[in-house]
Amino acid sequence: MTTAAAVHSADVALSHRAARVIPGGMYGHQAVRHLSPAYPQFFAGGEGALITDVDGREYVDLMCSWGPIVLGHRDPVVTAAARAQMDLGDCLDGPGPVLVDLAETMVDAIADADWILFGKNGTDATTACLTIARAHTSRSVILAARGVYHGAAPWCTPVPTGTLASDRAAMGYFDYNDVDDFDRAVQAAGPDLAGVLLTPFRHVEGEDQQLVDEDFARHVRQRCDDSDALLILDDVRCGFRLAYGGSWEALGVPVDLSAWSKAIANGYPLAAVTGREALRDTASTVFLTGSFWMNSTPMVAALATVRRLAEIDGVALMQRAGARLRAGIEAQAADCGLAIRYTGPDVMPYLTFAGDDDRSRMTCFAEAALAAGVYLHPKHNWFMSCAMDDSVVDRALRGTEIAFAAVRRHFGTP
């Protein structure tokens, strides 16, 4: 039998070297030590909808680098724009002219944006939203849905090792889409309610994804208005994938602040906060900064990305690819007699097996898919990109067909 070390010899060598100089060998959500040994830790490159690991194995990328890749790896338009800017300079003593170009473009594109601030990571953006909300209202409490991921700062990290109880002292929690529990949380916050932080849909590792109920969204908006509190949308994961002008644009439910990152620059490090006019003065008084926040190359990449998404109607392309993948996967599961749940929006789907409490079926599925050339995660939602045309989706489905057969072979049918 071929060992994992033999199959991933370059990856194993890099992992051994990393273990000597990096705690745990790798850290954060990209550490594959929590997954099967079949998963490669290191990658050599990407092109379109495909990625290649350091051992030369190619995969259809259903993770899109955990969300940032929206047009496709090394999109030629974005890459050319970024290279041109790098030839001019990137980290300078102040921002380049592209700062203004990008700010104007995004404010025009986003429904609830009258102004914009830039940062680097999603956590930068969500934390800035909380800071602005507290400064504007002179209140403390922010309400958020239980279990939903908002970043890796002490106030929100899902792994609270090394944090203090006081880091979350001004946070309150409620069950997503539960009006009664939300009202309870509002009542508990009382006159100290500064804002409510929501994601466009509920994504909690190991649990079915849940789209926001429109009536719930409207109820939250009304309670925020009644309390003179701010409604904050965490659009870091969903922005420019669910919709072009903001993920709640179609609901007709306005938000006061929005946090953005991931897809806005097609893999280049950038985040943003957008807000309505009434918050402009407050946003100008809050101190937000970072040594690399004004780098021009990510902003040029973002400008090219946002414009390109509009030109090609990227959201529609991803929705089409996601619908094709969903239909194929549901048909494959039915053909194998396997009961699955395929939840969330088509552009960010999540697969689980019925009765798979220990995730053994999903682990088997993911390992078999990986061996068949499809990179997906057994516990995290997947992502579609504009590079996923019919041929790519069909290639992915050939891999998932093999993966479903492996699950049936090892576990049988319910």
Q: What is the pLDDT of residues 265-278, one digit of tens each?
A: 999 999 999 999 99
Give the dihedral of Cα atoms 196, 199, 202, 205; nearest 10 deg: -110
Q: H/E element holding 315?
A: helix 314-335
Position 6 scores a pLDDT of 52
294 DSSP 8-state letter: T
Q: DSSP readout, 374-408?
A: EE--SSS-----TT--HHHHHHHHHHHHHHHHHHH
Position 177 scores a pLDDT of 97
Q: Are strands 271-275 and 257-260 parallel, antiparallel or unpaired?
A: antiparallel
Residue 111's contacts (CB-CB under 8 Å, 6 or more residues apart) are: 245, 246, 249, 254
CATH code reported for the domain at 4-73+314-411: 3.90.1150.10
Position 211 scores a pLDDT of 92
Q: Which amino acid, one-letter code, is at 258?
A: S
71 backbone dihedrals φ, ψ, rounded to 5°? -90, -25
Position 414 scores a pLDDT of 73
How far apart CA 208 and CA 381 sit, in angstroms, is 10
pLDDT in tens, 167-206: 999 999 999 999 999 999 999 999 999 999 999 999 887 7
Give the dihedral of Cα atoms 158, 160, 163, 169; nearest 10 deg: 60
Residue 331's contacts (CB-CB under 8 Å, 6 or more residues apart) are: none
How far apart CA 346 and CA 319 sit, in angstroms, is 6
How far apart CA 332 and CA 405 sit, in angstroms, is 9
Residue 96's contacts (CB-CB under 8 Å, 6 or more residues apart) are: 85, 88, 89, 296, 299
Prediction pTM value: 0.94
Would you call 260 exposed, middle or buried from its count of C-beta atoms within 10 A (0-12, 13-18, 19+)?
A: buried
Number of residues in the chain: 414
pLDDT in tens, 339-365: 999 999 999 999 999 999 999 999 999
How far apart CA 55 and CA 194 sit, in angstroms, is 51
List of the chain residues with pLDDT < 70: 1-7
Class in CATH terms, 76-312? alpha beta
Q: Tokens representing 10?
A: 């370059």
Position 2 scores a pLDDT of 39
How far apart CA 108 and CA 102 sit, in angstroms, is 10
How far apart CA 319 and CA 47 sit, in angstroms, is 21
Can you give the residue ranges of every domain in the chain? 4-73+314-411, 76-312
